[in-house]
Structure 1
Amino acid sequence: MSMSYLDQFQKHLNNHDYPSFLSLWEEYCMGDEVDGEELRRVLTNVKDSELATPFGRHVEKALSLWEKIKDTDLGQEIFKLIFDLQTTNTPELGNLVFNYLKERYGEDRYFNDKIRLIGLREMDSFQGAVSNYILLNHLKKGNFVFHTGGWGVGEIMEISFLREQLALEFDYVPGKKDLSFENAFKTLIPIPDDHFLALRFGSPEELEARAKKNANEVIHILLRDLGPLTASEIKEELEELVIPTDEWARWWQTTRTKLKKDTLIETPEDLRSPFKLRETEVTHEDRLQKALEKKPEAGELIQMVYAFLRDFPQTLKNEEFRSHLEEKFKDALANEELSDAQELQLYFFLEDLGAGKEYSPTKELIKRFTSPEDVVNAIAIIAFKKRALMQVRKLREDWAVSFLSLLFAVDQNPLRDYILGELLKEQQEEVSKKLETILTFPDRHPHFLLWYFQKMMKDDALPLGGKEGKIRFFEALLILLSNVESNSNQRDLVKKILTFLTTGRYSNVRKVFQHASKEAVQEFLLLATKCQSLTDHDIKIFHSLAQVVHPSLAKLGKKYEEGKQGEEEIIWTTEEGYKKVKGRIQEISTVETVENAKEIEAARALGDLRENAEFKAALERRDRLQSELRTLSAQFNKARILTKDDISTDKVGIGVVIDCKDDAGKELSYIFLGPWEADPDKHILSFQSKLAQSLMGRKVGDKIEIQGKNLTIFNLRNYFETF
């Protein structure tokens, strides 16, 4: 027989098609061979279905199949299931089950009492006789049972065959509970001493010691006894009762790494899928070969094999496996349409499989690249990026051109370090020219600007690393901060810049101020006030550090103190903008923060935090939400709703619409509102912006410059009278 019968039975159960199920059962029981596992699963499935009661009149037909396997452990399980289901209670069945129990338990001193309790003395009703006898054997003080009615795991505290009842303590029900044998037969399932639940509730300290000594063994027991479980379900079973809560994250991270290498456990690829205990061992090599049988496309193949060899490098000692991989790569090279980046990475694999020997096609490929930088950018694996860079440096005379192009393009600091290090050996002047563009346009490569400035503060020998260079980079960094802090996609960068500025009691700021002129420091203080991410405390520290170097700047600090509660501190907004920000604050506080906490816990459950992309993404989202909430809350406390009466059209100010004409007579309008309504595409400018500040106080007839356009103001209007 094949397991195909199981699918047919299940289909009829799902459709509640009892006639078809019964017809198939008649056919099944007439078979000459028996698949014990299939029969067990069929009986188990029907026992849990609505067809169990009517099927009870026909289940005994399976006895002919049972006869063929009755001396096996599986045969005993099937016999028990047959009597759990049967409802005819015929004398023939009664004698059969009595003899079965007599043969196995006849020496039991309470055998006759138990036979009476399970209904075999009168032979009138003995459904579940085998299960009930096994349960009675298990009813001993200190043993554990599971309550199917929702009381959870219970420990047997007392038992009386005279009163035919027992007392138990359950994990989900307070106090001691008395239960009759009759109710016990209906609701209790015996838990063997070596079952996970018995170990967890009976010997949690011992189980904790085993989990810390051999985590995989405990996970094996857990999956064996409770079936497939997700990471969060495993946590629910083990945390606190077995592994202390404060130790869980570290334990699970280590354990999950070990589970990946366990040949008897199927590890899921996502949070929602469960860990499964395999029936037979599957080697690491077999697992990869099975995945490769699905014929993944080149990009997926590269990622899959790289991750596998990173986790299981010992598999390369298997010559047959090495040969199989080599053939797979050569086949991909010969039969697939590959990009230069994919082809190069496959060559790298072939080099590794050749015990590190150089693969001649690698050299030929790198030499003929039209754009090495495009190839490097197309490689996702960092180790292969570095390898490609090293080959370009070694084999191409024009390597410096590519390296200069890639210096700003790569995102990973180790790659930046390598590229910069090689360029500085021969191309210092060209590097300096590239850095000048950063100072001119800090927004173009913001992450590189911060990275290089951090290096400069530790190494004066770098290009532009002198006192003047640091001053120029500091100015560019403050300009960058003021430009990106309102961009939600740059929250992480803003956080890194603030950390750089404030770490070590503002040591970096202190070092720059020490060598800057009074005029430069004064410019820094002005730029700092434009950075909304810097708190009043930060600005005060900036002023204090400035006064130490240039005492004459003390008056600026006093002016700042006096004016901080004035007009500049007010966040003007329309009523619509006020409600929008208030709603956003509530959304972050009550919805998104809670959702993010769940994401972090779910991702943490995956373990292996160093390579856990979901965990890192969840933490980054938390940082973004916290930063946004701090910024909006600080602004909200300073907010004031703008009204029609607050606006004067005598000169340019908050709430004013400026009507202008360019040199060709074309009319343009600009609106001055608060930062929450700002939308440059619609010509709505924040009154806090540098452009708006430069135009404040202008009147009709004044000439102004906006975005490179020479304009003349010909009218000033009240925003609320216009819109």
Structure 2
Amino acid sequence: MNSEAVSALIAKSPSLKAAKPKLEAMEPGAYVVHRSWGFGQIKSYDEAAQRLIIDFKGKRAHPMDPAFCITTMDVLPEKHLLVRKETDTKRVNELIAENPAQLVVEALQAYPNNAATAIELEITLAQVIGEEKFKKWWAAAKKLVAKDPRVAVPEKKTECYVLRETPVSAEDEILEQFNGTRSARRRIALAEELMVATGRKDVKADLSVVLKGVADAVKDSNQLDASERLYGAAVRDDLAKAVGAENNFAPTQAAIIGNVRDLVAISEKIPVQFQSRFLELIQETHPIEARDILFTLLKTSQGKFTTECINFLVEQGHADELAATLKRWQTEQNLRAPVLLWIVKNRHSKKFAKLLNDLITPRLLSAIFFAIDYEALQASSARRIPLADILSEDTDLISDLLSTADPETARDLANTLMLNQGFEELTKKSLLARFIKIFPKIQSLVAADAESKEEQLLVSRSSYDRKREEYETIVSKKIPENSRAIATAREHGDLKENSEYKMAKQDQQVLMAQKTLLERELGRARVTDFKEASIEQVSAGTVVEVKTAAGGATTTYTILGAWDGDPEKHIISYKTAIGAALLGRKPGETVKVKLGGNDEEYTVVKITRFADKSAV
């Protein structure tokens, strides 16, 4: 906009006077970012209509009121990355591919005071690089930027990336952050970073100060739990070694893990990079009990720690004991999901062939199904179950595990699959197809399931709600309670003599059968108010007066939904013997019904509608 156009706008709206510089910047060719429309370029100004004509992506030649744009649109400087992406595309693309740190530096140069919050910078970079590629690119770029002495990297997203006037080395920046924080956790993390980054001799002198700070944090801080204190002690001892200091600090690493009962809780939180050293430390601190401790840790292990435990046991010469223990856990149904996951992932490994050969059996598939079901029932929200994922993704796994199965065992396992809570219905059918490929007779399971879904059940709203409430109670209360009971019973040891475990498992079978039956029935249910019932013949939703052939006594039956019934009020389901026999009959027709071993004969006298009766 030229000065005359701006003056005309201000004359019309004097309140715009303070925004004169911004209005003057809204000239043809300028690039802008609008709060709603995003990135665009001003193409022209329509003086007659007093409208800016702006090309936005996906919305060309869009007219906008300049007065409205003052608060909703920013005019970008020529150095802004979004502008340069349009005007100097080749250079920007080169920086994206070859020099991410320089790209960030040049991005910051376009901001006031050469500073931008992490959120602002990431939004701009995402638009320049593209949303699809940005996440992966930024994960790698951040590491390079953190090492660049020209950029101060914030700890939080709400703080700013700052382009320094004087470059600062990575070591000096870490020292500055270390001295500026009181957080024990942060000091330990920064000390570790400093050891990795240290390359200059003059910085090593500062390590003594860092060592004292870390030692004090490990000894006195109440912010740290046992696993954090142990890791801090390890960093402290590495620092002492690096500066050649005498290591007489307390508490020692051995003292922190001195109580065997604390080790499981510590193992759950130790950093991945410290897991191997943690196991070595246990071996040194508890040489006599080490083997038993390691098996206990393996039993409750998660993720990479499972692999570390197994590798360590093998390296320490416990391979035969490990094989026997895994087999015993399988028999006792004590194999947890992480260990099962490791077994199936390594079943073809030559290194572990002797260890795993006897485990690759149908019984292992049963253990996998149990672990998946247990994890699904314990989950408070819908989350991925890695063991279920690998069962779906590894197309050879089921055939490997069923290679020694007989048809009856395979059918039992297929039934277990169909009752499992850890799979969606489509996934169950896909997995069942792999069973059928090996044992074609299992196809009958699919046929039976399809047949059960063919017939719909007419039900009243009240009976449907009761049935649904029964289902919710089983799923949300009874099954989780049973799962906890099984888990508790498993901890009591030998399952062969464990009556609590056997009873809990029996209860589980009953509950899962009830749940499956309710799911099938609810899936077939069609709720009705019976207003469509006809009085021409008996149907669900009719009130029928019948006369017995023997004594001529009359009785009135109300025939309702599949789950309705109140004998005292003569309310019966259309699925009962009498209800089914009367369906389709007209007044004057006679039917025979077998009740209690006797044949009873009824004649239909009169038919009325239940809906009409209930409306009165």
TM-score range, shorter chain: 0.5 to 0.7
The Cα of 1:637 is off from its aligned counterpart by 9.4
Q: Residue 448 of structure 1 corresponds to which residue in structure 2?
A: 339
Match of 1:237 among 108, 124, 136: 124
The Cα of 1:530 is off from its aligned counterpart by 2.2
Amino acid of the structure 2 residue aligned with 1:370: G
Distance 1:480 1:249, change over 3 A: closer
What stretches of structure 2 of length at least 5 have no aligned partner?
8-16, 458-462, 473-515, 528-559, 568-616
**Aligned residue pairs: how many?**
459
Q: Residue 438 of structure 1 corresponds to which residue in structure 2?
A: 329
Q: Residue 188 of structure 2 corresponds to which residue in structure 1?
A: 302
Distance 1:531 1:282, change over 3 A: same
Match of 1:322 among 198, 207, 230: 207
The residue matched to 1:253 in structure 2 has which SS? helix
Match of 1:391 among 275, 278, 281: 281
1:509 corresponds to 2:426: no
Q: Residue 404 of structure 1 corresponds to which residue in structure 2?
A: 295
Please give the alpha-carbon distance, in whole angstroms, between the structure 1 residues aligned to 2:467 and 2:201. Answer: 62
* CA deviation map 1:19-62 (0-9, x unaligned): xxxxxxxxxxxxxxxxxxxxxxxxxxxxxxxxxxxxxxxxxxxx
Distance 1:224 1:486, change over 3 A: same
* CA deviation map 1:566-592 (0-9, x unaligned): 44899999437869999xxxxxxxxxx
Distance 1:193 1:480, change over 3 A: closer
Q: Residue 646 of structure 1 corresponds to which residue in structure 2?
A: 563
Q: Residue 253 of structure 1 corresponds to which residue in structure 2?
A: 139
Q: Percent identity?
A: 14
Q: Residue 238 of structure 2 corresponds to which residue in structure 1?
A: 352
Please give the alpha-carbon distance, in whole angstroms, between the structure 2 residues aligned to 1:364 and 1:571. Answer: 70
The Cα of 1:477 is off from its aligned counterpart by 1.4
Distance 1:480 1:194, change over 3 A: closer
* TM-score normalised by length of structure 2: 0.58
Please give the alpha-carbon distance, in whole angstroms, between the structure 2 residues aligned to 1:570 and 1:313. Answer: 75
Match of 1:209 among 71, 85, 94: 94
Amino acid of the structure 1 residue aligned with 2:406: S
Amino acid of the structure 2 residue aligned with 1:212: A
How large is the RMSD of aligned CA atoms in angstroms? 5.5
Distance 1:300 1:453, change over 3 A: same
Whether the 8 Å CA contact 2:436–2:443 is kept in 1: the answer is no
Task: Please give the residue correspondences for 1:513-532 in structure 2 after superposition, counting only pairs within 5 Å.
Answer: 513-532=402-421
Q: Residue 49 of structure 1 corresponds to which residue in structure 2?
A: none
The Cα of 1:146 is off from its aligned counterpart by 6.6
1:423 corresponds to 2:313: yes
Q: Residue 381 of structure 1 corresponds to which residue in structure 2?
A: 271
Amino acid of the structure 1 residue aligned with 2:435: F
Whether the 8 Å CA contact 1:438–1:449 is kept in 2: the answer is no
Bigger RCO (CA 8 Å, 6+ sep): 1
Distance 1:143 1:527, change over 3 A: closer
The Cα of 1:238 is off from its aligned counterpart by 4.3
Whether the 8 Å CA contact 2:185–2:228 is kept in 1: the answer is yes
1:225 corresponds to 2:110: yes
Distance 1:504 1:316, change over 3 A: farther
Whether the 8 Å CA contact 2:82–2:124 is kept in 1: the answer is no
Task: Please give the residue correspondences for 1:473-552 in structure 2 after superposition, counting only pairs within 5 Å.
Answer: 473-489=364-380, 492=383, 495-505=385-395, 507-532=396-421, 533=423, 534-547=427-440
Amino acid of the structure 1 residue aligned with 2:124: E
The Cα of 1:383 is off from its aligned counterpart by 1.8
Whether the 8 Å CA contact 1:351–1:359 is kept in 2: the answer is no
Whether the 8 Å CA contact 1:155–1:169 is kept in 2: the answer is yes
Please give the alpha-carbon distance, in whole angstroms, between the structure 2 residues aligned to 1:531 and 1:570. Answer: 24
* CA deviation map 1:368-407 (0-9, x unaligned): 5433572574253222232121233245422212212211
The Cα of 1:245 is off from its aligned counterpart by 4.7
Q: Residue 484 of structure 2 corresponds to which residue in structure 1?
A: none
Please give the alpha-carbon distance, in whole angstroms, between the structure 2 residues aligned to 1:171 and 1:578. Answer: 56
Whether the 8 Å CA contact 1:525–1:543 is kept in 2: the answer is no
Task: Please give the residue correspondences for 1:630-669 in structure 2 after superposition, counting only pairs within 5 Å.
Answer: 638=523, 640=525, 645-646=562-563
Q: Residue 370 of structure 1 corresponds to which residue in structure 2?
A: 258
* CA deviation map 1:102-122 (0-9, x unaligned): xxxxxxxxxxxx9xx99xxxx
Please give the alpha-carbon distance, in whole angstroms, between the structure 2 residues aligned to 1:460 and 1:139. Answer: 70
Whether the 8 Å CA contact 2:79–2:110 is kept in 1: the answer is no
Please give the alpha-carbon distance, in whole angstroms, between the structure 1 residues aligned to 2:377 and 2:292. Answer: 35
Distance 1:468 1:423, change over 3 A: closer
Q: Residue 289 of structure 1 corresponds to which residue in structure 2?
A: 175
* CA deviation map 1:674-718 (0-9, x unaligned): xxxxxxxxxxxxxxxxxxxxxxxxxxxxxxxxxxxxxxxxxxxxx
Distance 1:365 1:192, change over 3 A: closer
Task: Please give the residue correspondences for 1:553-592 in structure 2 after superposition, counting only pairs within 5 Å.
Answer: 554=441, 557-567=442-452, 574-575=464-465
Amino acid of the structure 1 residue aligned with 2:303: Q
The Cα of 1:508 is off from its aligned counterpart by 1.6
Distance 1:289 1:375, change over 3 A: farther
The residue matched to 1:370 in structure 2 has which SS? coil
Please give the alpha-carbon distance, in whole angstroms, between the structure 1 residues aligned to 2:62 and 2:417. Answer: 68
The Cα of 1:563 is off from its aligned counterpart by 0.8
1:199 corresponds to 2:84: yes
* CA deviation map 1:142-169 (0-9, x unaligned): 97477999998756889xxxx9xx9986
Task: Please give the residue correspondences for 1:615-626 in structure 2 after superposition, counting only pairs within 5 Å.
Answer: none
Please give the alpha-carbon distance, in whole angstroms, between the structure 1 residues aligned to 2:189 and 2:456. Answer: 50
Whether the 8 Å CA contact 1:259–1:265 is kept in 2: the answer is yes
Match of 1:470 among 361, 364, 370: 361
Whether the 8 Å CA contact 2:33–2:40 is kept in 1: the answer is yes
Distance 1:177 1:430, change over 3 A: closer
Task: Please give the residue correspondences for 1:666-705 in structure 2 after superposition, counting only pairs within 5 Å.
Answer: none
What stretches of structure 1 of length at least 5 have no aligned partner?
1-113, 119-127, 548-553, 583-630, 651-723
The Cα of 1:542 is off from its aligned counterpart by 0.5
The residue matched to 2:300 in structure 1 has which SS? coil
Amino acid of the structure 2 residue aligned with 1:261: K
The Cα of 1:251 is off from its aligned counterpart by 2.8
The Cα of 1:320 is off from its aligned counterpart by 2.8
Whether the 8 Å CA contact 1:145–1:188 is kept in 2: the answer is no
Distance 1:294 1:236, change over 3 A: closer
Please give the alpha-carbon distance, in whole angstroms, between the structure 2 residues aligned to 1:637 and 1:211. Answer: 56
Please give the alpha-carbon distance, in whole angstroms, between the structure 2 residues aligned to 1:253 and 1:199. Answer: 23
